[in-house]
Homo-oligomer: A and B are copies of this chain.
Amino acid sequence: MERKKRGRLFESGMKQRNLPSIKLRKGAGEMIKDRFSERLSKMLSSDDWMILQDKYEPEENLKFESLFSLSNGYLGIRGSHEEGTKITLPYLYINGVFDKSETFMRELATLPNWLGIKLYVEKELIGIEDCEILDFSRALDMKHALLAKRVLLRDKQGRETLIEGIRFVSRANVHRMGIKLYVTPMNYSGIIEVESIIDGTIINFYDAPRFKVKHTYMKANEKLDENGAYIEVATRDNHLHVGTGCHIKAYKDGKDILKNRMFSAFGEQAVEFSDFDVVEGETVEIVKYVSMYTERDVAKYALHTNVKEEVDNFIYTGFEEELAAHKAVYRDMWEKADIRIEGDFELDRAIRFNIFHLMSTGNERDDRVNVGAKLLSGEEYGGHAFWDTELFMLPFFSYVFPKTARNLETYRYRLLDAARANAEKNGYQGAQYPWESADDGTEQCPDWTIEPDGTCYRCYVAVYEHHVTAAVAYGVYDYVKITKDWNFLFNKGAEILTETARFWASRCQYVAEKDRYEINQVTGPDEWHEPVNNNLYTNYLAKWNLRYVISLIDILKKDHTEEYHKLIEKTGLTQEEIIKWQDVQEKMYLPRKEGTSLLEQFEGYFELENVVIEKYDENDWPIRPEALKNRRARETQIIKQADVVMLLHLMGEEFDEETKKLNYAYYEKRTLHGSSLSPSIYAIMGLKVGDNSKAYRYLRRAAFIDLLNLQKNTREGIHAANTGGVWQTVVFGFAGVAIGEDGILSIRPNMPKEWENLTFRIHYVDSWLEIRISADNSALVKVLEGDHITVRINGETVEV
């Protein structure tokens, strides 16, 4: 048994004060632009695109590192400071670069960080923790996906230096990352010394002594070419190589004025020293050009060359030109992804913040990676994909970035064999997807947990929580429902659905005396009741999976013979099996209260003590009932998160309005929302059943969950599922977007009173649509590209 914290259980131990250095009110973005010099300010966009930090509080560093992380899908880097600070988790991840070593699971390995630029005047570091801060602000410009800063520092000798600048990780060329700093000595002339650093010393769980782990080892620490710096590391288990290289320049009047360049390999740090002359009041532009490649991209022997050439080409292209290309990509992305809410400025921006991080991390180029539970912005959950991807993030990508959605689906297809092996290992048939998935598709949810105090206990999540396999199946269905990517469905999706169906069939047991199939010893979405028998959500989705694949195979057999034969060949599926599945799905036990429409979360749930929530706090958030003081939730009907309601959300069309209403009302009173995966679902379903009361507040809470560090763990990264939940709440909830059984896109808005109008864009079939909803719930649909289509607005069918 080895050390390793089990993420979810550990969160509460990581407290962090929430200080008020983030400014979210209207006008904050313009305020910072006013502060910035013109040259910087003109690079930035407007208030509605900006997240502003206007005060340096070291204790908030970790939160801002998450909030200000940048990702281009290929890599993610946290918003640490170039000069380094005492409190920092300066992680950089490349999606797909996992390592286990002596820990419990393969986790994203933190890789050499290239942010380091240290400026010195006569040996004094011009840094925020070394000087008096006369002025400080940073701004995440979401429109352009760049992080801007302005600091005016006074050192111990009274010298004042203004440092303004930006950084970005290019989405035009994902192997290019750049930093530009405008450095102005305000009241002195002299020499500024600069260290350009690639730091290979950083380890995972840097600030947690018990869990610290180094996932890489050094392969090279050398000059990039005549100058510059290059570090190559390899992961410890698989010896996957990663190369990072950089050049630094200091421009004045267009000429590089750096001199006395000198490279040093200090152990695991590559440091290029140089200096330049400065004149009082005159600005020098420091530019750091960086590139990273891994063995996943190019051959190992060519890593250094590729990095070098990319840096050279970046310099040749120019910082501004690369930035322009990067901005152009983001312009396109925002054209697709932005949601505009007029009349509710702060929420509008907060929603944008969630979309920014989610869309930035999605990868339209690589189908070998997924999106981790903390995106690429923090270390919690090791970068693993959960059911969060399919049920919270995938709808966004399917509607907005279908190529990325296809990659997420292909990722699951690529790991189908691993899921097959996982099922076999656990004594089942077909494919069982792992609760936590990294690069190789094996189960990454650890069997053992070490608590912060060093005690170990057995962790049963992977043993019982099987519904992720249903989520993967549902994801295939949902993705295809939205995108009509029949090619994927017939060639890959069908195989996934077949194998997951096979898993469910083997996972059930037939109970002869009741003539029904049961799934026992299982955990549903509500993790507070673990394990249970016949979790309705799980049973229903298993049944659905079986039913859906039977009809799909039927279609293939009839209309897509080639694909059908391929599927049979690949899966060895027999007619007997399909007959068996038919039986299983027909006789799957779906617990409900005898003679009512009240669905039972699991067999025996209604026999538990009937505790309900009675009090709500000032944010309309449920207060833990007194009854739970001396009792575990599992002994009562109090649940952690949407479970039956999650089912209603996914399978709404299969239940009548009455059932939805009744069950929503019942379970809403018993859900404590102990997971960030819950409020958005209740918001959507609340709107659907006509209980709008909490939806708007749920949305606000979800939208600000990281900006205001409401869960106190934003330091560990952005809540990825929540970002997708926010999007769904707006689009499926308030805008009421849905696809009917007839395949027609329907819009049935429920605009909150705070909103004047709501505008967003989605892809549907071959069209790209803009949907604009007014305060009176009327909706206007415009086809921006593609064919005219039929939509149903507030029940009325229109051609647009």
Residues of A in contact with B (beta carbons under 8 Å apart)? 3, 13-14, 86, 118, 120, 122-123, 129, 190-191, 193, 195, 200-201, 203, 207-210, 212-214, 218, 259-260, 262, 264-268, 271, 273, 275, 452-454
Contacts and interface: CB of A to CB of B under 8 A. Distances in A.
Nearest to A452: B122
B453 A191 contact: yes
Contacts of A123: 13-14, 207-209, 452
Which of A120, A218, A262 has the largest count of B CB atoms less than 10 A from its CB? A262
What 4 A-B pairs have minimum CB-CB distances, sorted nearest first? A267-B268, A193-B209, A260-B454, A191-B453
A200 to B, nearest CB: 7
A265 B214 contact: yes
A212 B270 CA distance: 12
A207 B195 CA distance: 12
Contacts of A454: 191, 193, 259-260, 275
Nearest to A267: B268
**How many copies of this chain?**
2
A568 to B, nearest CB: 51
Nearest to A262: B3
Given A260-B454, A453-B191, A118 B209 contact: yes
Contacts of A13: 122-123
Given A190-B453, A210-B273, A212-B273, 15 more contacts: A13-B122, A86-B129, A118-B209, A123-B209, A191-B453, A191-B454, A193-B209, A193-B210, A201-B266, A201-B268, A203-B266, A214-B265, A214-B266, A260-B454, A267-B267
A273 B214 CA distance: 14
25 contacts: A3-B262, A13-B122, A13-B123, A14-B123, A118-B209, A120-B209, A122-B452, A123-B452, A190-B453, A191-B453, A193-B209, A193-B454, A201-B268, A209-B273, A210-B260, A210-B275, A212-B266, A212-B273, A213-B264, A214-B264, A214-B266, A218-B267, A260-B454, A268-B268, A275-B454
Nearest to A86: B86
A267 B112 CA distance: 12
A327 B780 CA distance: 90
Contact of A195 (B195, B209, B260): B209
Contacts of A207: 123
B267 A200 contact: yes
Contacts of A118: 209
A747 to B, nearest CB: 49
B267 A214 contact: yes
A435 to B, nearest CB: 26
Nearest to A200: B267
A13 B120 CA distance: 14
Given A275-B454, A452-B122, A212 B264 contact: yes
A142 to B, nearest CB: 32
Contacts of A453: 190-191
A104 to B, nearest CB: 13
Contacts of A129: 86
Contacts of A260: 3, 210, 454
Contacts of A264: 212-214
Nearest to A205: B123
A271 B213 CA distance: 11
Which of A120, A200, A201, A454 has the largest count of B CB atoms less than 10 A from its CB? A454
Nearest to A157: B15
A118 B129 CA distance: 22
Contacts of A201: 201, 266-268
A99 to B, nearest CB: 14
A355 to B, nearest CB: 33
Contacts of A265: 214
A13 B275 CA distance: 17
A275 to B, nearest CB: 5
A218 B267 CA distance: 8
A637 to B, nearest CB: 34
A259 to B, nearest CB: 7
A40 to B, nearest CB: 26
Contacts of A200: 267
A380 to B, nearest CB: 14
A271 B212 contact: yes
A148 to B, nearest CB: 26
Nearest to A218: B267
Contacts of A267: 200-201, 214, 218, 267-268
A718 to B, nearest CB: 22
Nearest to A129: B86
A385 to B, nearest CB: 27
Which of A195, A210, A265 has the largest count of B CB atoms less than 10 A from its CB? A210
Nearest to A194: B209
A118 B210 CA distance: 12
Which of A209, A262, A265, A268 has the largest count of B CB atoms less than 10 A from its CB? A209
A131 to B, nearest CB: 13
A207 B127 CA distance: 14
Nearest to A122: B452
A259 B118 CA distance: 40
A271 B267 CA distance: 16
Contacts of A275: 210, 454
Contacts of A195: 209
A190 B14 CA distance: 17
Nearest to A271: B212
A170 B454 CA distance: 35
Contacts of A271: 212
Which of A213, A267, A275 has the largest count of B CB atoms less than 10 A from its CB? A267
A260 B265 CA distance: 34
Nearest to A216: B267
A122 B120 CA distance: 36
A779 to B, nearest CB: 51
Contacts of A120: 209
A201 B266 CA distance: 7
A716 to B, nearest CB: 13
A232 B347 CA distance: 57
A129 B214 CA distance: 25
Nearest to A195: B209
Contacts of A203: 266
Contacts of A259: 454
A422 B268 CA distance: 38
A712 B209 CA distance: 38
A453 B121 CA distance: 9
A446 B119 CA distance: 28
Contacts of A214: 264-267
A213 B203 CA distance: 23
A59 to B, nearest CB: 9
A454 B129 CA distance: 26
Contacts of A3: 260, 262
A6 B203 CA distance: 37
Contacts of A86: 86, 129
A214 B195 CA distance: 15
A86 B208 CA distance: 19
A101 to B, nearest CB: 10
